[in-house]
Structure formats: C-alpha cells, structure tokens
Amino acid sequence: MEAPEKKEGEKKPAILPTASAVLDSGELAEMVYDPAVRETRFVVGSGEEWRYEESVQLSPAERLVPYSATNNLVKHRVVLFPSEPADYGDEAALVSRIRDFVRRHVEVSEDFELISTYYILFTWIYDVFHEVPYVRVRGGYGSGKTRFLLTVGSLCRLPIFASAASTVSPIFRLLDAFRGTLILDEGDFRFSDEKAEIVKILNNGNAKGFPVLRTEVSPKKEFDPRAYNVFGPKIVATRGFFQDRALESRCVTEDMRGGAIRTEIPLNLDERFHEEAREIRNQLLLWRLRHFKDARGETRAGARDLEPRLQQIFGPLVSVISDASERSKAIAYIAKVNEDLVEERSEAAEAQVLHVIRDLVAQPGARLAIQDITKEFVRRYGDEYERRVTPRWVGSLVRRRLGLKPSRSTGIFTLGPEEVARLASLYKRFGIEATGTEEETPVEQSSDAAA
C-alpha cells in the first residue's frame, strides 16, 4: 500500500511555459529576456517590490517556467520582451520618452501621435479591463504603415509581429499562448479566406469571454474543437475599410498619406532602434508592476465626455491618461474620428466613384460609359473590396447613391451632358475638388452591355 503513495508523492508537476501571469497572491510573474547573455527568467512582484525567479510553483501539480531563450519566436523577435525592470522617474517623463521615440521614427499627425503614445501605455495593463479598442493605420504602398507598426509595436507589451506570417493559423496560437499585443499588416494576407479569419480574431478579440473556436486534429486523427483566447490590444495596418462597420467603430484610425518625411526620421531602423525600444520596454515593465493594481478601479471616469457606446470601447484607453489636458485632447480626437467614420464609411464607395468620374470628365474626349467607369474604379480601388466589382454594382451606386441617371441606347448606359452638369453639386456634397472642366468637356458615348 505504501508503494503507490510514494509514487504519487514523487510525481513531477506539469511544466507550463508562460510569458505572463497574475498569481493568486496578486503578484505578477513577467518573463524577461536578456539578449546579452541569452537567458530568460521571471520578474515576480508588484508595486515597488519585485524579485527574479527561475520558475513559479503554482501548486504541487503545476509549475510555471519562462519560454526558453532558444525558442524560435524569441530568437527571431516575433515576440519582444523587456530584459529587466528599469526606473523611469515619474510617469510624465515616461510618457514624454515614449512620445519622443514615436516622433523620431514615424510621421503621423500630432493627435494620432498622442493616441499612439497612450495606447502603448495602455497595452501594459490592458488585461485589467474587459474591453480594448484597436489602433489602425490605413493607406497604400509606401505610405508609412509598416514603419508605424514597427515603431509603435516595439514598445507595446509582448508585441506579436504577425505581418510576416504566411498563414493565419499561428496567430491564434500565439495570441492564446502569449496574451500580448497583435501587430498585424492585413496586406500580407491576400486570400479572402485568410482575411475572413483575421476578421474573426478582430471581432472576437476586443472583449473578454469571446474565444474563437477552431477544430484541431488530435494525434489519433480525431476532431478536437479548441477555444483560443484572442482578447487583447491590436495595432493593424490596412489598405481600405473593414466591411464590418462594427469592427470599424472599434478602431482609432489614421490615414497615412505618404510623401516627404521629416529629415530627422531615419530611412532604416538599425540596432540602436531595437536597443532603445528595449530600454523603454524595461521602464514600462516597472510601470506595469507599479500600476497594475491601481488600474482595477473606475475605468471610464475620465471618458464621461464620450457618448456611452464610445465610453465602452475607448474608456479603458482614456483611463490611463493622467494629464487632464491630454485626456481632453484624446477624447476630442476619438469623438471626431468616430464622427468622421460614420459619414466616411457610408459614402466611401460613392466618393471613389465620383473621383473616377471627375478624372474621366477632365480627359479630352471623355467617355462616361458605366463600363469605363467600372474599369477605372477596379484599377484604382479594386484591392480594397472583398466583393467582385462589376458594372452592375457601380451602376447601382451611380443611380441609387449619387442620384445620377445614365441614359440607355441600344444597350449602352452612359452619363450624358445633363448628368455631367449635376456633378458640381455632388463634388461639393462629398468634399471633392472640381476640375472646372465639367461644362467644357464634350462627353462621348461608349459601348456598355451591362449596368
């Protein structure tokens, strides 16, 4: 009878590789990685008291260990860690250093720079809250989206750089394992099924309690449904709008215009960039240890000026802004972005069609057949739409949304001179600058079999 008891007592606890945990004692266990000696360990503590631990015994049956320094994700900077807690002075000094780092490496508007700075701070205590907003940059090639992801992402807590992923499947596992900040370039996922999976992550990841269910195949070839926790902050780059309007409303978005950048912004990010980013992450780790418990209080007290729906989404972000003046600026910016989004998203396709029509009208011998408009629309904006852009769909926008009436003759749908004369009022409504040629340019008809 004694042999089984001895065997039970000698049973080794389960080893659980972990990047971060909140212990029953209220202490935090945060993995750190020192690249100089290539070692990982835990920083355990809270407030002003902390210590290093090689592992953390949760119970006789479970023991937490940090991920190995030889782990492929650690070696290749897919996930970034601090190396040690570091003093930062006061919070104002830390915020100033974060903002200066962002300003020196990427070109964004002053208001969005403010939002990005505090979003970085927010990611270090996001797990206290039940909802998180997203930060998104939108623009074409060469507009600076990737630089923004690298710059801001490098300072976030446990950033997971998924922009180089060849498939979506690893992202579910990375988010579930590390519970960090997803840094995502949607443009790297070309196929509609991949983008649909990304939307699942984004739709389920802004609130606690909504894991994504995926079917895995067990070693015995049996189907094994599994829930993946995808909750957490996310910084996303896209070329166009999300088709899901609810998802759009969860984002604070900056349109990246590209063009000339300030001379002090480096064209390439060298090792000094990564070293400085790690130093700031070290300071942010100490900030997390000091403020994690404090953040459990009222999350929306500072966001009363936002409407209730926006309070729910953006209240947690606003709550980390201690400076009253900067909090007011952030609230005003969030409200303005949301107001613009509601109007912009509903009219985006119509405005794009108008831009195409305006530019075609300005060309000598302009041809305004619906098919010609569609062809140019696809060339300019086709990549922004998951649906197939057809002359029938464009014709519907022209008639129902813009109120123009293409005339039909022998199966040809074309905008005639009378409709061209109405364009000026539409340009004004959509905020589009007119070319001044609408009344001068003769309009030719073109063959178009479908509208």
**Nearest Cα to Cα of residue 252 among 366, 333, 168, 183:** 333
Q: Which domain holds residue 30?
A: 1-76
pLDDT tens digits, 201-234? 999 999 999 999 887 776 777 777 889 999 999 9
Q: Residue 327 domain-assigned?
A: no
- Output 70 or 311, whichever has higher pLDDT: 70
Last residue of a domain, one of 27, 53, 76: 76
**Are 58 and 89 part of one and the same domain?**
no
**Are 264 and 157 part of one and the same domain?**
yes
Instruction: Give the pLDDT score at 305.
Output: 66
Mean pLDDT, to the nearest integer, of 123-127? 97
Instruction: Give the pLDDT score at 343.
Output: 57
- Output 47 or 11, whichever has higher pLDDT: 47
Judged against a pLDDT cut of 90, whether residue 425 lies above it is answered with no
Judged against a pLDDT cut of 70, whether residue 5 lies above it is answered with no
**Are 308 and 217 part of one and the same domain?**
yes
165 falls in which pLDDT band (50, 70, 90)? low
443 falls in which pLDDT band (50, 70, 90)? very low
**Are 208 and 86 part of one and the same domain?**
yes
- Output 327 or 337, whichever has higher pLDDT: 327
Q: Residue 331 domain-assigned?
A: no
Q: Which of 215-229, 290-304, 410-424 has the lowest mean pLDDT?
A: 290-304
445 falls in which pLDDT band (50, 70, 90)? very low
pLDDT tens digits, 301-312? 456 667 777 888
Which backbone phi and psi does 137 adopt, to 5 degrees?
-115, 140
d(CA 59, CA 371): 69
115-136 burial string, b = 16+ CB within 10 Å, else e?
Answer: bbbbbbbbbbbbbbbebbbbbb
Q: Residue 333 domain-assigned?
A: no
Last residue of a domain, one of 25, 50, 76: 76
**SS3 track for the chain:** CHHHHHHHHCCCCEEEECCEEECCCCCEEEEEEECCCCEEEEEEEECCEEEEECCEEEECCEEEECCCCCCHHHHCCCECCCCCCCCCCCHHHHHHHHHHHHHHHCCCCHHHHHHHHHHHHHHCCHHHCCECCEEEEECCCCCCHHHHHHHHHCCCCCEEECCCCCCCHHHHHHHHHHCCEEEEEHHHCCCHHHHHHHHHHHHHCCECCCCEEEEEECCCCCEEEEEECCCCCEEEEECCCCCCHHHHCCEEEEECCCCCCCCCCCCCCCHHHHHHHHHHHHHHHHHHHHHCCHHHCCCCHHHCCCCHHHHHHHHHHHHCCCCHHHHHHHHHHHHHHHHHHHHHHHHHHHHHHHHHHHHHHCCCCEECEHHHHHHHHHHHHHHHCCCCCCHHHHHHHHHHHCCCCCEEECCEEECCHHHHCCHHHHHHHHCCCCCCCCCCCCEECCCCCCC
Last residue of a domain, one of 76, 96, 122: 76
d(CA 302, CA 73): 38
Judged against a pLDDT cut of 70, whether residue 347 lies above it is answered with no
Mean pLDDT, to the nearest integer, of 426-430? 79
Instruction: Give the pLDDT score at 341.
Output: 60
Instruction: Give the pLDDT score at 446.
Output: 42
Q: Residue 39 domain-assigned?
A: yes
Q: Residue 338 domain-assigned?
A: no
Mean pLDDT, to the nearest integer, of 345-350? 66
CATH number for the domain that contains residue 369: 1.10.10
Instruction: Give the pLDDT score at 269.
Output: 93
Mean of pLDDT over the chain: 86
Model pTM score:
0.75
**Are 43 and 154 part of one and the same domain?**
no
Instruction: Give the pLDDT score at 301.
Output: 47
**Are 291 and 387 part of one and the same domain?**
no
d(CA 400, CA 348): 14
Mean pLDDT, to the nearest integer, of 436-441? 50
**Are 98 and 108 part of one and the same domain?**
yes
Q: Which of 94-103, 148-157, 256-265 has the lowest mean pLDDT?
A: 256-265
Mean pLDDT, to the nearest integer, of 147-157? 97
**Are 70 and 85 part of one and the same domain?**
no
Q: What total number of domains does the chain contain? A: 3
187 falls in which pLDDT band (50, 70, 90)? low
**Are 120 and 152 part of one and the same domain?**
yes
Please give the C-alpha separations between residue 204 and each of 76, 182, 227, 324, in angstroms, as whole numbers. 28, 13, 12, 32
Express as a percent the part of the chain with pLDDT over 90. Answer: 54
Instruction: Give the pLDDT score at 302.
Output: 54
CATH number for the domain that contains residue 121: 3.40.50.300
Which amino acid appears at position 404 of this protein? Answer: L
Instruction: Give the pLDDT score at 62.
Output: 95
**Are 308 and 352 part of one and the same domain?**
no
Q: Residue 330 domain-assigned?
A: no
Q: Residue 372 domain-assigned?
A: yes
**Are 261 and 148 part of one and the same domain?**
yes
Q: Residue 341 domain-assigned?
A: no
**Are 16 and 161 part of one and the same domain?**
no
